[in-house]
Amino acid sequence: MYQVLNMNNETLLLFFVAFTGAAVLLQAIILLAFFLTVRKTVTTLQVEFEEFRSSLVPLLKDSREFLARVGPKIESLTADVADLAHDVRAQSAEVHSSLTEILERVRRQTSRMDAMLGKLLDGVDRAGGFVVEAVNVPIRQFSALAASAKAVMAALRTKSPGPRQTPSSADRDGSI
Res 160 pLDDT > 90: no
Residue 113: the pLDDT is 92
Residue 40: the pLDDT is 96
Number of alpha helices (DSSP H) and beta strands (DSSP E) in the chain: 2, 0
Confidence of residue 164 (pLDDT cuts 50, 70, 90): low
DSSP, residue by residue, 111-169:
HHHHHHHHHHHHHHHHHHHHHHHHHHHHHHHHHHHHHHHHHHHHHHHSPPP-SPPPPPH
Res 161 pLDDT > 70: no
Res 37 pLDDT > 90: yes
Three-state secondary-structure class, residue 168? coil
Res 140 pLDDT > 90: no
Residue 45: the pLDDT is 95
Res 150 pLDDT > 60: yes
* One-letter identity of residue 170: A
Res 34 pLDDT > 60: yes
Residue 97: the pLDDT is 92
